[in-house]
Amino acid sequence: MLLPFVRYGIPGLMFLVGTIVPIVDSDKQRGLEIGAMLMGAAFAVLLLNVFFRIGMEGDRDRDREEDARRYFDEHGYWPDERPGARR
């Protein structure tokens, strides 16, 4: 429950605040600058989460490959092959 909020809720709240600040700030120029800064930071946090997940997916692929190689070393065939199906 907390992890999806950290991934998507925090950037969403930052973006929402970035759209509200220019409306409520009395100095429109300052409000636009702060709003743009918050929206940019929201995109940066979201992309950081996306890139981290992509990196973790690569680790899982390497772990699965290592497990498959270990299985091959023990049994003489790959886990997705039928025994004796080798050419």
pLDDT at position 85 is 57
Question: Which one has a higher pLDDT value, 44 or 64?
Answer: 44
Residues 17-57 have pLDDT tens digits of: 999 999 999 998 999 999 999 999 999 999 999 999 888 88
Q: Which domain holds residue 31?
A: 2-75
Binning pLDDT at 50, 70 and 90, where does residue 87 land? low
Q: Is residue 28 part of a domain?
A: yes
Residue 83 has pLDDT above 90, yes or no: no
Sign of CA dihedral 35, 39, 45, 48: negative
The Cα–Cα gap between 80 and 87 comes to 15
**Does residue 85 form part of some domain?**
no
The span from the CA of 16 to the CA of 12, in Å, is 6
DSSP string, 37-83: HHHHHHHHHHHHHHHHHHHHHHHHHHHHHHHHHHHHHHHSS-TTSPT
Q: Indicate yes or no: pTM above 0.85.
A: no
- Inside any domain, residue 82: no
